Amino acid sequence: MLKVLTDTQASRWKDLQGEPFQGELGGLFGRANRRLVGAHDPSTIVKDKGEYWTFTTGRGILSLRSKDLVHWERGPTVFPDPPPWITGVVPTQRGTFWAPDVIYQDGRYLLYYSVSALGKRTSAIGLASNPTLDPDDPHYHWTDHGIVIQTDERDDYNAIDPSVARAPDGTLWLAFGSYWSGIKLLQLNPRTGKRIATDSPLHAIASHQQIEASALYPHDGYFYLFVNWGSCCRGVWSTYNIRVGRSRDITGPYLDKDGIDLLDGGGSLVLGTEGSFIGPGHAGVLKDGGRYFLSYHFYDGAQFGRSRLGIRPLEWTEDGWPRVTGKPITPPAAQ
């Protein structure tokens, strides 16, 4: 999520923070079947009891739920009231949380979220957990576990936009960062979900003059690092586009299709603006059975730049690179 904004952009973002990103459910957009609902900075999609969930930027952390990836509805917010530690770290925080991500780990869902002072490095990534995402389950309850990592104006990186991934060897990792010196990576304790040690290495894995919204995904012997270039939060004027690099080692180096290191400005295009489909960002990969999907938000040029949830099928090329397709996402009931 962009944190270096002009006054006009900041005003637009302030408007976005005030209300949930509302939108019509269902429908088609362009050539691909992108069933739409209002969302910004969606988390990786996860599945619980046959239902899909994603979490998004908004007051209290917003949630969306679906039974088929096509028709989405609002779920409960995570925090009716912000955890009390937040105002001590970010005094200007007023209950809006940015760019969450979620993973199922050892019997519970770990939800990473960020709080920040707009345009500054006064930021923190926090952690909450829940044994279930089903609000009707008697065990449903979000427990906040406090800070995972924080930054201030003395740091050259920004603790926002968390992305959590589990490596094939069972280790747990958190990528994060926005602008400044780019995307960082740290190892997590798989039992607690927190940093494995307070002095554990912080790996630099990608850099660009406009970079954020990282997402890590392991596949077929590689780790794929998705990032966003460009500016977000500007509606139809947004220039967000999704890039990717890959590495055999989760700590890098991540190279694009041309062999350029993402630390040196490399990044192969995965998805960009297509007509009134504008500024896709905050990628997440879902493997559902034998199918792969790429989730993201985008700005709908046909609806005055409203931010939407988008999902498209994802394929892997013969040489192992991710590629989105224009094939419709068909609801299971219609198959």
Peptide bond into 253 cis (omega under 30): yes
222 domain-assigned: yes
Does residue 2 belong to any structural domain of this protein? no
Q: What is the pTM of this model?
A: 0.89
Using one digit for the tens of pLDDT, what is the confidence trace for 253-293? 999 999 999 999 999 999 999 999 999 999 999 999 999 99
Sign of CA dihedral 176, 113, 310, 235: negative
User: Does residue 334 register a pLDDT over 50?
Assistant: no
Task: Give the Cβ contact number of residue 22 at 10 Å.
Answer: 11
pLDDT in tens, 88-103: 999 998 899 999 999 9
Average pLDDT over residues 162-172: 98
75 occurs within a structural domain: yes
The two three-digit tokens of residue 275, written as one number: 């007509």
Whole-number Å distance between alpha carbons of 137 and 145: 21
Alpha-carbon Rg of the chain, whole angstroms? 18
Overall domain count for the chain = 1
The C-alpha atoms of residue 120 and residue 204 are separated, in whole angstroms, by 20
Residue type for position 306: R
Cα 79 → chain centroid: 18
Catalytic residues, by residue number, are: 41, 212
State the Cα–Cα distance between residues 116 and 132, nearest whole angstrom: 27
Domain limits at 173? Answer: 7-334
Instruction: State the CATH number of the domain containing residue 68.
Output: 2.115.10.20
21-43 pLDDT, tens digit per residue, is: 333 222 222 333 334 468 999 99
Q: Determine, yes or no, domain membership for 1.
A: no
Specify the pLDDT at position 94. 86
**Cα 137–Cα 61–Cα 43 angle in degrees, nearest 5:** 90
DSSP string, 233-282: SSGGG---EEEEEEESSTT---B-TTS-BGGGT--EEEE--BTTEEEEEE
Q: Is residue 196 part of a domain?
A: yes
* H or E stretch at 251: none
202/222 Cα distance (integer angstroms) = 20
104 in any annotated domain: yes
For position 6, what pLDDT does the model report?
37
